[in-house]
Amino acid sequence: MFGVLLSLLQRSIPAYLKASGFRGRRGRTTLGVHDMGLGNIGLPGIILIAIVVLVLFGRGKISSLMGEVGKGITAFKKGVNDSTKELEEEAAAEAKDVTPEAETDKDKA
């Protein structure tokens, strides 16, 4: 259902923009990040967004959220390291001697 809606929007928005005579920064009839005003937020915009978030959620909620984000990042790194160790151990266990048998027989004689 969502895919059908997305497909419909992808077809209808460029057609509307073309019919209305919209031209983006590079003369295209499609909207880009810079055409929507999201590319030039700047420092004052970021500060304003931070103040709004702080007012809406409060200091305690944000600090607990950041703590959870930190725990998630730590758990992710630990999982990556553990899986890397497991793969290395499996590769070491599967490693075998590739010396040809003829050379080992000559060395013994």
Lowest mean pLDDT among 31-40, 45-54, 66-75: 31-40
Q: Residues 66, 88: one domain?
A: yes
* pLDDT tens-place string over residues 30-48: 555 455 555 677 888 889 9
Asked whether the beta carbons of 34 and 25 are under 8 A apart, the reply is: yes
Q: Residues 46, 71: one domain?
A: yes
pTM above 0.85, yes or no: no
Which amino acid, residue 101? E
Asked whether the beta carbons of 24 and 13 are under 8 A apart, the reply is: no
| 105 domain-assigned | no
SS3 108: helix
Confidence check: pLDDT of 20 > 70: no
Q: For 60-89, what is the mean pLDDT? A: 93
How many domains are there within the chain? Answer: 2
| 86 domain-assigned | yes
Please give the residue range of the domain that contains residue 75: 41-92
Which amino acid, residue 14? P
Asked whether the beta carbons of 22 and 6 are under 8 A apart, the reply is: no
